[in-house]
Structure 1
Amino acid sequence: MTHLLDNIFWHALSGPQAHFAVGTGMARRYAPGFSPIVGFANPGQPDFDALAPYCEPGERFYCDGWSGPVPDGWRIALESTMFKMIWDAPMPEVDEASDAVPLGPAHVAQAVELAILTNPGPFGPRTIELGEYFGYFDGPRLMAMAGERSCAPGLREISGVCTHPDYQGRGLARRLMTRLIRREMQRGETPFLHVMSRNSTARGMYERMGFRNYRESVVRVVTLDRG
């Protein structure tokens, strides 16, 4: 049986987050300023012609679950694999980050700066509008953050999980994730996340927290070359 996670970005971009997206009935992307991610109604045969009018040459987009030939006018800038992981444990008993700061428009510059430094995945200046984001600060410096990106009925993605190198080893990101997991489960949603296959350290932490591997899939970063 097909699971929403098998094509989660399409289900998000054409469903609950359609107001954050642009595109057609066959191909959609988050609007400029949000995370540069695309989704296709048929990920096995993605309709790049339908997507192209909504993209600028040189823009880089993350594409999940497609491993076919590259269409004319596009090129692959990066190819790897990632794990989709889904929560498979009881709700955490304690909110370990009740003292975390909700991130909003005033924190965009700090959030983008931390994302550039740590590269938690595709992130844009409007990404924190896609869900709840929380962080820990040391004065004006954002030490760690975690938040929510895509969603589909009954599912909510935890994303943007990162810690400044000067503050690693304190469990800050894990505490922020625990807060998000509790809040999502209280809303009747099942948390899930993506992690690059090579990032065994993070994947091990997520497994210890209560996530399990759902599937491993190809992830590509694609660029439109033609004008």
Structure 2
Amino acid sequence: MINDDDPALDDPVGRSLGGRHAHLARGIGRALAYDPEVATFCSVSARPGPEDWAGLARLLGPGAFADMFSCPADPPPDWEPVFSLAGRQLIWPGGARPDLPGSGSGSGSGTGVVELGAESVPEMLDLVARTAPGPFRPRTRELGTYLGVRTGGALVAMAGERLRPPGWTEISAVCTAPEARGRGHAARLVGALAARIVARGERPFLHVAETNTTAIALYERLGFKTRAQVTFRGFRTP
């Protein structure tokens, strides 16, 4: 693991909801959550007290799913655990523009990488349903730029920008249809996104489940380094 002490990376959901994604947020006090059509993630303060958990419970409603992402704080005992998944956070180590597949040309220009607009959402949702890269909602595309690869007009791979804490942009929803795997699509998409992020003066980062060893190997081969081990957790409100 490498040392990067930027506290924005310790609360990427909260720092995104309180900053560049404020227009996609809803909140009560210090409890914040994305519009449910955009994302499932929610956040409390860095050191939440009873009033923060109560605010989040009111915000989400009774018996609702609270996707706490990597928040390490424990909710009150009457919040029912739904899932717990070991994962890791990887970051681009900084420095020059990444020399990655697809980073030289960006979208278009013979790379087969295209930008996905609102008209592509039905295809994006279908691809997510087939590949299960993680949570993806009808308006998730509004979090940032999403790129894809088409074969014969059909969307066979995609990746995009998700959480955006200050100075950083997360690369997420990296997925390839089973019939199109082994052709380097994921590497080209991650490379194109990383180049865009670095070009605007930010640094790319991403999250991955520990069980997804194939993805971890790909990201490490592209130059990403593990910053921290995290645990993704979800709960149900009282």
TM-score by length of 1: 0.90
Which of 38, 45, 57 is equivalent to 1:52? 57
Aligned to 1:187: 200
Shifted more, 57-66 versus 141-150: the winner is 57-66
Instruction: Please tell me the root mean square deviation across aligned C-alpha atoms, in Å.
Output: 2.0
Q: Does 1:146 align with 2:146?
A: no
Displacement after TM superposition at 1:68 (Å): 2.6
Aligned to 1:23: 27
C-alpha distance in structure 2 between counterparts of 1:165 and 1:175, whole Å: 17
Q: Does 1:65 align with 2:71?
A: yes
Aligned to 2:220: 207
Q: Percent identity?
A: 38
Letter in 2 for 1:23: G
SS at match of 1:152: coil
The answer to whether the Cα contact below 8 Å between 1:43 and 1:66 also exists between their aligned partners in 2 is no
Q: Does 1:91 align with 2:97?
A: yes
Change (3 A) 1:112 1:58: farther
Displacement after TM superposition at 1:56 (Å): 4.2
Which of 110, 116, 119 is equivalent to 1:106? 119
Displacement after TM superposition at 1:53 (Å): 2.2
Which structure 1 residue ranges, 5 or more long, are not aligned? Answer: none
Show CA shifts across 1:72-124 (max 9, x none). Answer: 2x311111121111001542342365332211111111111111221111111
Shifted more, 129-138 versus 92-101: the winner is 92-101
C-alpha distance in structure 2 between counterparts of 1:33 and 1:103, whole Å: 18
The answer to whether the Cα contact below 8 Å between 1:22 and 1:29 also exists between their aligned partners in 2 is yes
The answer to whether the Cα contact below 8 Å between 1:26 and 1:42 also exists between their aligned partners in 2 is no
Instruction: Provide the aligned length of Structure 1 versus Structure 2.
Output: 224
TM-score by length of 2: 0.86
